[in-house]
A and B are shown apart, each in its own frame.
Chain A
C-alpha cells in the first residue's frame, strides 16, 4: 500500500544480500550503557541542587551512558539491515534514560501541579462529579474522570503512587505515537527511527507529568498517525510528494477509511472534555492537511473542532463565566504573548538563565535541522508545503493566546513531531554515507549531534529541579498539615512548590503566597495579614526564592523566625529541613513533633 515517491534510504537500494558482518557491538554497547546508567544513579534531594538543577548532581559514570547508548543506536541504524527489535529495545532504553532519570533519582513525584491533578481525580472518585466554581481546570474533567475511574477500579484511595513514574509512561506512549506518525509519513524505514529519536531527545518541555495535556498529546499523536496512514490521499508517504491533483481515492478500502474516521471521532470526543488546547491544535493540523490538498476526509478537521467548541460552550460554563478574558483577551496581542513567553521568563540568577538559554538553543537546533529537511525536499524537486506548514502552524497560537506565558513552550511541543520528521531527512543522508574515509566521520558526527541534543534535554528538563522537585520530608510536612486542618482552614506555602492539593479538595484550601507576598521586605507582615492556618516551609521554596527572585540564602529561616516572633505562628512540625507553622490565633490546635 505504501506508495512514497521519495527515494528511500540508500541502504534500501543496496543489494539485498544477507549481511555477513556480525554486529555484536551494538547490543554490547547498549547493555554497557544501561549498566553504567544504573551504577551511576544516586538519590538527589532538592536541598542539594543549585540553580542549574539536576545536571550538576549527576555522576560522570551516568553521563557517559548517554553517548554509549546513542553510539549503539547509530551503529544499528547505519547497518545495511537494521534489526528493528533491537532498535525498539534501544528506544525503550532511551525513554528510560531521558524521562526516567528524575523519577529514578528523586525521592517523590516532582512538580506540584501533578499532586493537585491527583487531588482533582480523587475528588471525582469520592463525589462522582467535578467541583463547580473551584478551579478552571475542573471545567475539562475528562482526564480527572479517567483518573478517578482508574483509582476506583484499582481499589486505591488516590493516584499519588502513580505520579512519580507517570512521565516515563506518558513520554513513552508519546514516543510510540511519534513512531507511528513517522512510519505513516516516511514509511517503516530508518528515517522513521531517526525522527522518533530526534523527538525523544529534544522534548524538553516537561509536559509529560500526570496531567491532561500529557494524555491528550498522546491521543493527538495517535489521531494524526491514523489520519496520515489511512485518510491522506492517495496513500501513506504522500506528505513527502508533490500535491495530488484531482480527488483521488486513498489506496485502501472504504471499511479501512470508515474505521479510521470513527477512531479519529472517538479521539476527538475524548479530547474535547479533557483539555482546552489540544483538540484545537489537532484540528489545526488536520486543517493544514486539508488546505494543502492531502486530506481525503474533508470533514475531519470540523469533526475534531466542533466537539471541542461545543464542550467549551456547553460544558465549561464555570470557566468562561469567570475567565473568558483569558481566552479572548490575548487575541491579536502578539507583542504581549512574545513578551510573556520570552522576555518575562528570562528572570532569575545566572544558573536559571543558562537553563533558559539551553532550552532556546535546543529549540533553535531543532528548527535548523527541520529547515535542513525542507531544503532536502526542495533540492530533490519536491515542492511540498504540507510538512513545513505542519511544523510552523502551531506557532500561529502566539497570535491568539499567551497561555499564561507558556505559549512558546506549547508551540514547540505541538510543532516537534513534524519538525523531527523533516529533520530526519538530512540526517538519514549522513547515516547513508558510503564513501570510504567519510563514513566513520559521518557516523561520529551523528553520535555527537544526538548526544548533544540528549544531554541538553536532560539539562533543560532538570533545570528547575532545585525547586520543582520535592522530598519525602516535604510530603510528610504537608500530610501533617492535612491531618490537622479543619474544614474551611487553609494550608499555604511561600511559593507554589509543594505537594499540595492531593487531598481534601473543596474542604481545605491550598494557597501560595508567591503571587501576593513576593517582596522580601515586609513579607512577614504580608503573610500575617493574609494568614494561612498552616504554613509549610521547605528547602524547595528556599531554592525557588534564591534562584527565581534573587533572595539571599537562608531567607526562609529568617522569615520563619519573624513569623514565630510575631506570636501568631508556632512551629508545630519539623522533619529534616521541612517544617510546618500553625496559626495559633486561628485555633489550629495540633500536637506535632516540634521541639
Chain B
C-alpha cells in the first residue's frame, strides 16, 4: 500500500477523532454543569455516549493505521 495513502488516511482519522472528542467534551461538560459537594451522580446524555462510541472506533482505526505504516515500513513492503 502506498505510504502517502496510509499517512493521509491516518491524518484523516486523527482529525475525525479530534473533532469528535472536542464536540463530545463540550457537550459532556455543559450537561455536567457545576459540581457541588453533594451533587447527583452524572449520567452522560445519549448523544455523548454515541459520540464516545464513535471516538473509540475512530481511535482504534487511527492507531491501527499508524501501526500499519510502521509494519509496512519496516518490512520493506511499503515504498
Could you list which residues of chain A lie within 8 angstroms of chain B, going by C-beta atoms? 3, 233-235, 246-254, 257-258, 261, 297, 299, 302-303, 306, 309-310, 312-314, 317, 320-321, 324
The one of A246, A258, A324 that contacts B26, using a Cβ cutoff of 8 Å:
A258
State whether A254 touches B70 (Cβ < 8 A): no
| Chain B contacts to A: CB under 8 angstroms | 7, 10-11, 14, 17, 21, 24-26, 29-30, 32-37, 39, 41-43, 55, 59, 62-63, 66-67, 69-70, 73-74
The distance in angstroms between the C-alpha atoms of A250 and B28, with both chains bound, is 13
* Residues B32 and A254 in contact, CB atoms below 8 Å apart: yes
Report A-chain residues with C-beta under 8 Å of the C-beta of B55: 299
Please, could you name 28 A-B residue pairs with CB atoms under 8 Å apart, sorted by A?
A: A3-B37, A233-B35, A234-B35, A246-B41, A247-B43, A248-B42, A249-B42, A252-B35, A253-B34, A254-B29, A254-B30, A254-B32, A257-B29, A299-B25, A303-B21, A306-B59, A306-B62, A306-B63, A310-B62, A312-B66, A312-B70, A313-B66, A314-B7, A314-B10, A314-B66, A317-B73, A320-B73, A321-B74
- Cα A210 to Cα B36 with chains together (Å): 44
Contacts of B7 in A (CB 8 A): 314
> In the complex, what's the smallest C-beta–C-beta distance from B37 to chain A, in angstroms?
7
Give the Cβ gap from A254 to chain B, nearest Cβ, in Å. Answer: 4
**B35, A313: Cβ atoms under 8 Å?**
no
The answer to whether A249 touches B69, judged by C-beta atoms less than 8 angstroms apart, is no
Quick one: which of A250, A252, A299 has the most chain B CB within 10 A?
A299
Of the candidates A258, A310, A321, which one forms a contact with B10 in the assembled complex, judged by CB atoms under 8 Å apart? Answer: A310
Closest to A233 in B: B35
A261 vs B32: C-alpha distance when bound (angstroms): 15
CA distance A233 to B25 in the complex (A): 16
Q: In the complex, what's the smallest C-beta–C-beta distance from A62 to chain B, in angstroms? A: 51
In the docked arrangement, what's the CA distance between A310 and B68, Å? 11
Known: A258-B25, A306-B17, A306-B63. A313 touches B70 (CB 8 A): yes
CA of A299 to CA of B20, assembled, Å? 12
**Contacts A234-B35, A234-B37 known; A258 to B29 CB distance under 8 Å?**
yes
Whole-angstrom CA separation of A246 from B39 in the bound complex: 11
Do A314 and B69 touch across chains, with their CB atoms under 8 A apart?
A: yes
Name the CB-closest residue of A to B58.
A306
Judge whether A248 and B66 touch: CB under 8 Å: no
Is A251 a contact partner of B69 (Cβ separation < 8 A)?
no
**Closest-CB distance, A213 to chain B (whole angstroms):** 23
Whole-angstrom distance between the Cβ of B27 and the nearest chain A Cβ = 10
Residue of A nearest to B67 (CB): A313
A254 / chain B contacts, CB cutoff of 8 Å:
29-30, 32-34
Chain B residues within an 8 Å CB radius of A249: 32-36, 39, 42
Is the beta-carbon distance between A302 and B32 smaller than 8 angstroms? Answer: no
Contact of B39 among A248, A306, A309, A313 (CB under 8 A): A248
CB proximity of B46 to chain A, nearest CB, Å: 16
B73 touching A321, Cβ below 8 Å: yes
Q: Closest 5 CB pairs between A and B?
A: A313-B66, A246-B41, A249-B35, A254-B29, A251-B35
CB-CB < 8 A to A320: which residues of B?
70, 73-74
- For B63, what are the chain A residues with a Cβ–Cβ distance below 8 Å? 306, 309
Question: With A and B bound together, what is the CA distance between A252 and B29 in angstroms?
Answer: 11
A132 nearest CB across to chain B (Å): 14
List, in ascending order, chain B residues with CB within 8 A of A3's CB.
37
**Among the listed A234, A261, A302, A324, which residue makes an inter-chain contact with B25, where contact means beta carbons less than 8 Å apart?**
A261
Residues in B with CB closer than 8 Å to A310 are 10, 14, 62, 66
CA distance A251 to B73 in the complex (A): 48
Add 12 more A-B contacts to A247-B41, A249-B33, A313-B70 (CB < 8 A): A247-B43, A248-B42, A254-B33, A297-B25, A299-B21, A306-B62, A310-B14, A310-B66, A312-B70, A314-B7, A314-B11, A321-B74
Residues of B within 8 A of A314 (CB): 7, 10-11, 66, 69
